[in-house]
Amino acid sequence: MGKIQMNPVVEIDGDEMARVLWGLIKSELLEPFIDLKTEYYDLAMEKRDEADDLNTVEAAHAIKRLKVGVKCATITANAERVEEFGLKKMWPSPNATIRSILDGTVFRAAIMTDCIKPYVRTWVRPITVARHAYGDIYAAAEYRVPTPGLAELLFTPADGGPPVRQTVYNFECPGILQAMHNKDSSMESFVRACCEFALSAKQDLWFSTKDTISKSYDQTFKQLFQHIIDTEYKSQFEQAGIEYFYTLIDDAVARIIRSEGGVVWALKNYDGDVMSDMVSSGFGSLAMMTSVLVSPDGNFEYEAAHGTITRHYRRHQLGESTSSNPIASIFAWTGGLRKRGELDGNDELCAFAQKLEDATLQTVESGIMTKDLADISEFKAGHADTFEFFSAVRARLGDPG
Ligand code: NAP
Ligand code: MG
């Protein structure tokens, strides 16, 4: 029997322990079974420095071309990293660069297994948090008001029309002031990305804001959602048997906790930041969180939500054994391969992605797991090191062909 054939995906390699896991996933779990075709970009810290970070930009454009990318965790440079690697400059976060080129929305969901019970008992299916990653407080103007005085919003139209002023507050004492913004183009991209994701996951889409209080800002988000769903997605949602549901954010929080999960929960930037942490802790471990960047024109980039696991890598460099969990990175690959298969009608590739996910979770359910999971699982057994875990998953996959 020959290996499974496929069209290429964009492969983005990364740093430290995540890179070690990445290599093992390919050599142990993918290449024995698939004639793996990738367009490879090495975004290791030193390679980005060599290429003046242009390889990050090229990788993002490659995803636009091939539609599907898989990404290993990468170091985001900071002052210590500049010193450690002798970098030419403090290069920006690759994720931020790729996101701005793909105009994407980030979807995060927990991978669930039977032996790790969510802290929230009602959750039996994963909840995906869809976070709009533009504007709001992350790009706000702020001012510490030192004395009494008048605060106004001033808008000056570019076409030379009359300026618009609105009183914010007439301060009688010191205070604080903030102005934030968003753009129709970005909000509309966000809505479309959420709709595409809900359709591809075949899950209901929820959106929640505080539109009763924020009658123009949040209200605009709500109206754009409703308008785009009504005019562009209504029949597709009906065909897929999924629904769009809007509710006030307070109500949504209460409903999420009581729900069984299995929904895509779209949130504005700050709400998504906070709620994704709440949801991930509710489910269990950071090493079990997948993340996918979806662009409105249907490009997909899959990655693990965790970082390069520097602390483990330092031990690995010293030749010590580590117990690093590769599951989120395995699921980044299976997510990318399944999407490739779906886009190309390659059923064999989709079936292999499923088989690998099943083998990985069955390994955990058989009691073989890394330390992060052993610490929170129902089993009271010891834990496997990184290599033992890979061998166990490999054994479960059986012989190629
Ligand atoms: P991290 O790599 O996510 O690791 C933080 C801690 O979480 C680890 O020390 C480990 O805890 C635990 N952990 C995370 N993933 C694990 C896994 N797969 N298996 C077992 N334990 C796991 O975050 P960080 O240490 O803050 O960041 C390290 C580097 O990653 C930084 O340079 C940062 O810029 C980068 N980063 C990249 C991305 C990305 O590319 N998407 C995301 C976040 C961070 P214990 O040590 O207690 O075992
Ligand atoms: Mg957060």
By the 10 Å C-beta count (0-12 exposed, 13-18 middle, 19+ buried), 85 is classed as: middle
Identify the band that residue 250 occupies on the pLDDT scale cut at 50, 70 and 90: very high
Q: How far is CA 358 from CA 41, 57, 88, 198, 395, in A?
A: 28, 34, 44, 23, 13
DSSP letter, residue 212: T
Q: What is the mean pLDDT of residues 379-397?
A: 92
Decide the pairing of beta strands 263-267 and 289-294: unpaired
pLDDT at 380 over 80: no
Give the mean pLDDT of 207-220.
97
Q: Which atom of ligand 1 is nearest to the CA of 311?
A: 9
**Beta carbon of 92 within 6 Å of any ligand 1 atom:** no
> Which residues of 45-103 form beta strands (DSSP E)?
68-71
Ligand closest to 304 (CA) is 1
Q: Which residue has the tokens 């395995």?
A: 330
pLDDT band at 401 (very low <50, low <70, confident <90, very high): low
pLDDT digits (tens, 9 = 90+) for 67-123: 999 999 999 999 999 999 999 999 988 988 898 788 778 899 889 888 888 888 899
Report pLDDT digits (tens) over 255-295.
999 999 999 999 998 898 889 878 887 887 778 888 898 88
What is the whole-number distance in angstroms between the Cα of residue 274 and the centre of ligand 2?
5
pLDDT digits (tens, 9 = 90+) for 150-196: 999 999 999 999 999 999 999 999 999 999 999 999 899 999 999 98
- Which listed ligand is nearest to 293 at the C-alpha? 1
Q: What is the pLDDT of residue 307?
A: 92
- Closest listed residue to residue 111, CA positions, set 96, 126, 95: 126
pLDDT score of 112: 86
Enter the tokens of residue 70. Answer: 């898989």
Backbone angles phi, psi at 263, to 5 degrees: -125, 160
DSSP 3-state assignment of 349? helix
Condensed to tens digits (0 to 9), the pLDDT of residues 303-312 reads 998 899 999 9
SS3 278: helix
All structural domains of the chain with their residue ranges = 1-110+287-401, 117-135+183-283, 141-179
Cβ of 372 closer than 6 Å to ligand 1, yes or no, is: yes
Tokens of 160: 């030379």
> Given this structure, which CATH class describes domain 1-110+287-401?
alpha beta
Q: What is the pTM of this model?
A: 0.86
Give the range among 60-64, 167-171, 376-380, 390-394 with minimum mean pLDDT: 376-380
How far does the centroid of ligand 2 lie from the alpha carbon of residue 289, in Å?
13
User: Does residue 289 have its Cβ closer than 6 Å to ligand 1?
Assistant: no
- In the structure, ligand 2 is a single-atom ion and the residues with CB under 5 Å from it are 273, 277
If you average pLDDT over every residue of the chain, what do you get?
Answer: 94
Rounded Cα gap, residues 110 and 75, in angstroms: 23
